[in-house]
Amino acid sequence: MREIGKNKFSEHGDVEISEIGNGIYRISGFDDAFGITFNQFLIDDEQPTLIHTGPFGMYKKIEEKVKEVIPLQKLTYVAFLHFESDEWGGMAFLDSADARLVCSDLSSKLNLTGWYNIPVDHISFWDNETLKTGKRIFKFIMTPHVHHWDSMMIFEETTRLLFPSDLFIQPGNNKPVIEEDLSDKMLALYRGAGIFASEWPVRQTSKRLESLSPKMIFPMHGSCIDGSVFSKYTDAILNNKFAYSDVLLGQKLERVS
């Protein structure tokens, strides 16, 4: 048995902000316990959008970084891409602004209705539906069973930017953008964490994402990946095993034979 307090994520450690592209900011904090960064992405358009909020323990530091770019009252959309605390633990963003919560249609039906203490006010999207935030257009890509049943990704159509959540992640605390092939480390992380039940849906999604020819990929953990090396990561997914095999967050679960 493990007794866990309200906030299991570290509050120490720096959260950094860097502008990756025109008005696109990566807000990243490293968590020693997990050995990964937690990255949030702020898109400063006419209607500014924050993609994931980080775990609650990082909330104050992430909020400070958002406020370096825009007043909090300007934040219009807060998107989470699947139901996990690192995706939307910092939903206090919704208290301080006119921000609307954005999620997949599955997240809406499965995880945002029917609870005692979860906000029901949100906007949900089905596959290929779009949201215009000013100059930018977000297309929603449903990716069921790529990690979770309700998972989705976002593709920004005007400049071909991909926000794939927990796909194409890498461990460690590297620079904001890489042109290196860290796919071996990505696969080792997946094998050690056990986040994909099966390779099949992940491979189908990877093929679809490759066909979009993204110019920059913005994973939730690790560095942003320049589009010139994206095929290294999709090839690694297509040609290697990485699905769950009795290991969860580094711990072996004994199989009943």
**Would you say 220 or 237 has its CB closer to Fe ion?**
220
Residue located via tokens 């959309």: 77
3-state secondary structure of 189: helix
Residue 44 touching Fe ion (CB under 5 A)? no
Shortest separation between residue 38's beta carbon and Fe ion, angstroms: 7
3-state secondary structure of 256: coil
**Would you say 86 or 156 has its CB closer to Fe ion?**
86
Q: Which residue, 92, 48, 42, 101, is CA-closest to 74?
A: 48
Residue 166 touching Fe ion (CB under 5 A)? yes
**Would you say 1 or 249 has its CB closer to Fe ion?**
249
Shortest separation between residue 39's beta carbon and Fe ion, angstroms: 9
Residues 6+ apart with CB under 8 A from 6: 56
Residue 156 touching Fe ion (CB under 5 A)? no
Which residues, numbered 70-89, are part of the site for Fe ion (CB under 5 A)?
84, 86
3-state secondary structure of 156: strand
E strands, 11-89, where?
15-21, 24-31, 36-43, 49-51, 77-79
The site for Fe ion, by CB under 5 A, has a size of 4
Binding mask 214-243 for Fe ion (x = CB under 5 A): ------x-----------------------
**Would you say 36 or 94 has its CB closer to Fe ion?**
36
Amino acid at 47: Q
Q: How are beta strands 36-43 and 49-51 bridged, if at all?
A: antiparallel
Binding site for Fe ion (CB under 5 A): 84, 86, 166, 220
